Structure 1
Amino acid sequence: MNRPLIAATALAALGLSATAQAAEPLKIGISAEPYPPFTYTSSEGEWTGFEVELGMAICEAMARSCEITPTGWSGIIPSLNAGRIDMIMNSMSITEARQRVIDFSDPYYFTPGAFVAADDLALGGPDDLGGKVLGVQAATTNATYARRALRDTVGDIRLYDQAEQVNRDLLAGRLDVILADEIAMTEFLERDEAAGYEIKATAPRHEAYGEGVGIGIRQDDDALQSALNDAIAEVRANGTCTALSEEYFGTDICT
C-alpha cells in the first residue's frame, strides 16, 4: 500500500475541505417580517434596505460572501445560538439582558424610541399617557422600556409580534399611541394612510435602550467579532455608512 500517496491524498482532501468551509457564505439573520426602511423586500422580491446594503458592505470589507437569511424575530437569537445563522443585523440594540446570551459587534447606529399618535391627541411625553392604550412590538427595547418605565403610567400596554401589526392597529383606532423606533416611524408617517398622525415625543435615554445597535453574534466568536469591528470602522471611515444613511433617512445615523 502506498502510504505516502494516501497521506498526500488525505492532506489534499483536508485542504479542499478547509477551502470549501472558508468559502461558505455567512448567514445574516434579519426578521422575516419587513421593517422598512431597514429591511424590506423590493418589487422584485429581493431583500433590501439600509441594513441589508450596509451588511453587504461590511461583508465586502471583511472579504467574505454573505447571504440574507430571514428568520422570525421572536426566534432570531435561538437561531443564532443554534448555528442556523451566523449574525443578526436587524436593528438589535446592545443591552445587558441580551449580552447574557449573545455577544455584539461595536454599535453602528443609535436611534431613540418615538411616541406616535393622532395630530389632535394632547401628548407631550410619557407623563401624559395616563388612561391611554399604548401599542409596542414585543421582544424589543421599546417593549422593555414600556414595561420598566411606563407600567404605572399607561392605562393599557399591548404587545404585538410584528411592528406592522402595531401600525395597523393605530390606524384602525384600536390604539391611542404607539412606541417604536424613531427612524422607522418617520418612514411610516410618510405613508398616505398615516396622514393625521405625528411623532409626539421621543423616549428619554434609559438603560433599556442599551448602548446602540450592533451586530449580534454567538458568544466567544472572537474572530468574527474582531473582523466585524474592523469592517464597521472601515465603512464608517470611508463614508459608506453615512451615504447609505442619507439615502434611506435623509440624515446620518451612523455612530
Structure 2
Amino acid sequence: MILRAELESYLNQLLTPELIKDFCPNGLQIQGKEQINKIITGVTATEALIDQAIVAKADAIIVHHGYFWKNESYVIRGMKYRRIKKLLDHDINLFAYHLPLDIHPELGNNAQLAKLLEIEVTGPLELGNQQSVAIQGQLKTAIAAEDFVKRVDCKLARTSLHIAPPSNKAIKTIAWCTGGGQSYIELAAEQGIDCFVSGEVSEQTTHIAREMDIHFIAAGHHATERYGVQALAQHLNEQLAPNAEFIDIDNPV
C-alpha cells in the first residue's frame, strides 16, 4: 500500500513534468481514495479502461492521454461526464502524463519504441534540445526498407503505412516521434536521415517523403504509445509496493 500523495510525489520526481510545456495538466487530474493498493496503466483514459479498472478494483489509473486538454470545452457533460462520474463514484485516482511520458530517457514512449525496434539512440532530433519530443538513432547495419517495415509490423502487431521515396534507399539512420509526430519529418529529411517513424500521417507527409528522399512509416498513434505506460507499470512494481498492471484497450488508429 502507498498513499496517494506519496505516489504523486514519486511520479512527479520520476517524470519531471515541470520541465516541459504541455497541452494538458500533468500529474493527478482526478482525486480519489488516499490509500492505493492496485494501479492500472493504459494509453488513454477511456470509459472502457475505467470499466476495466473498476473490475480490477483499482485505486488509481495512470495514463498517457488524460483529460482537460487545451482548447477543449470546459463543460462536463456527455462522454466526459460519464468518464469522470465513474472515477468519482468508485473513488479512483486518475494520473496523466503526456509529453513527460514521451520523452523520458528510459521509460518514455520514444525510448521504449527504440528498444522494441532495436534502434540505438544517438540524440535529440532537435539538435541541442534535450527535451525534444523527437529523437534520432541508427540500426547496427543498413537494411532494405521492406525488411525494416516488416520489423515494425511484426513488433507492433499491425500493418503500418510505408511511404517510400523514389530512391527506395536502404535504411540505417532513423528519426522518430511516437503518436502524432508526423510534422517532424521535414526536420529529419533536412538532416539527411533515411527514415522517419511516427504514429500518424498527414496529407502533406506523402509529398515531403517523396520529394525530400526519406522513408516514412506511420505505425499507429496508439500502437507506438503502448510501451511507455507498460514500462512505467513494470517500474512501479519493482520500486513501490502497489500492484501495477497495464491494460491495453485496442485502437486501430
**TM-based fold match above 0.5:** no
Higher strand share: 2
The TM-score with structure 1 as length reference comes to 0.35
**Highest Rg: 1 or 2?**
1
